[in-house]
Amino acid sequence: MSDSRPAKSAGYLARTRPVVPPIYQSATFYLDDLAYKDIQDGGLREHWYSRFANPTVDAAAAEIAALEGAEAALMTSSGMSAIATTLLTLLPGRTVAARQVYGDTRDLLVRDLPALGVDVVMVDATDIGAWAEAIAFAPTAVVYAETLSNPQLDLTDLAALAELAHAGGAKLVVDNTFATPYTVNPLRHGADVVVHSATKFLSGHSDVIAGVVLGDAETVTEVQKRVITFGGCLDPHAAFLVWRGLQTFDLRLARSCATAAQLAERLAAHPEVVSVRYPDGEIADRLMLPGRRGAMVAFTVRGGDSRALAVMRRLTVASEATSLGGVESLVSTPFNSSHFSLTPAERAAARIDDGMIRLSCGIEDPDALIADVERALAATV
């Protein structure tokens, strides 16, 4: 009986280079002498098993590295995988982190890392004096912050924080998910490692879960070793969806950021809105690219969380859903979604107001979205 398997020469592959990267939906690859040598060296470079490396996943990582100006990038199975694996790679050691962080990141910092014996201290992200005191108090391995905090949209002074971290012998890790490389490149302001939930603005279509770690090649390689052993690798089809979304990244963000700026301005003058959170001021002028303040708006309505929930559920253009960064506008109330695990006192300490609504602006018509929000506010007075 003849052997019908494809020839090992891979002659069935296209002769010319494809415009769109192929989806290498293969768990394993043919071995040769180079692959065997790579395996013996740790298996970090050649493509021979997709938990270690995959060409489609590498293509997505390269796109994001270019956006962030990073020497190296590594895709992971989710944003939380990127965050947790990075921190576990840079530890053991004391960690100083922002108090204003994503709810699951907070759980990692206050529940999981201390259970592993890690000393974690949390400070107000905007209080540079508190950062300085905490970092100088004892030897510190990692300083962790979000460029724009979730959901308060507090902007961290990354340049000042990087100086403090490095003076204390620590690495600065920055979650740039909310700000995106369209508005800020943390590595250029002194960050050592940048992480993203690529689920959000990078992929942009609410159809994939993914994360990414960026930094110098040595550090990213160390994180890759833990991704291999912890199993947090990204599926190649998911990586392709991230790559495809990245092809319209600048176009999407230009539209979304412009809409967010208009919405923030209108809400600031609205009588039923107590406050609006949107990046502004001297730190924003220094860190953020001109005219680019992000696509997120957080605002607090009169009447507390019950009113916020009623307003949100009157919206017809924006969709009530968790996550952010899609082509559709997404809206949520932190008290019952991203930060439900915090007590009311803990939310207040983190400056998450009663009545806060978090809105991720998509690419709909700006006037339609703004009118939608204003109708919902009027209908719930």
Q: Which residues are catalytic?
A: 51, 102, 175, 200
Structure tokens at 43: 């298996």
Count of CB atoms situated within 10 Å of the CB of 243: 23
Look up residue 90 and give its two tokens. 């840079």
State the sign of the Cα–Cα–Cα–Cα dihedral 3, 4, 5, 7: positive
How distant, in Å, are the alpha carbons of 22, 209, 257 from that of 58? Answer: 12, 16, 28
Neighbour-count burial for 94-122, b at 16+ CB within 10 Å, e otherwise? bbbbbbbbbbbbbebbbeebeeeebebbb
Percentages of the chain per state (helix, strand, coil), in multiples of 5:
40, 15, 45
Structure-block tokens of residue 324? 């952010």
Please list, residue by residue across 271-301, b when 16 or more beta carbons sit within 10 angstroms of its beta carbon and e when fewer do. Answer: ebbbebbbbeeebbeebbeeebbbbbbbbbb
CA distances from 62 to 68, 69, 215 (A): 10, 10, 12
Tokens in use for 86? 């990075």
Rg (CA), the chain: 22
Residue 73 one-letter amino acid? A
